[in-house]
Amino acid sequence: MDLGLKGRVAAITGGSRGIGFAIAQALLAEDCQVAICARDQAGLDRAVQLLGSGVFGHRADVTRPGEVEAFIEA
């Protein structure tokens, strides 16, 4: 499927597992650059390794505004 997203950047919260991880996979398949965040560094590292190239991981807790800002700025 071509959603016309090639070259776009997507930021996904909770991207280390479940629905967030599946969304990251789908967007990578559409040739997006994907940034994911998660609270757990080990889970985040695992997800980045599994997702491969085109993904950037950043540890952040979205209940803390400063951490969300740091994720978006990274």
pLDDT score for 26: 96
pLDDT at residue 72, rounded to an integer: 92
Q: Is the pLDDT reported for residue 1 higher than 80?
A: no
Average confidence (pLDDT) over 41-65: 96
Q: Is the pLDDT of residue 56 over 90?
A: yes
- In the chain, the domains with their CATH numbers are 9-73 (3.40.50.720)
Which strands, in side-by-side order, build the sheet including 55-59?
A: 9-13, 33-38, 55-59
The torsion of the CA quartet 30, 35, 36, 37, rounded to 10 degrees, works out to -170
pLDDT-derived band at 35, boundaries 50, 70, 90: very high
User: In the 8-state DSSP scheme, what is residue 73?
Assistant: H
- What band does 4 get if pLDDT is binned at 50, 70 and 90? confident
13 strand-pairing partners: 37
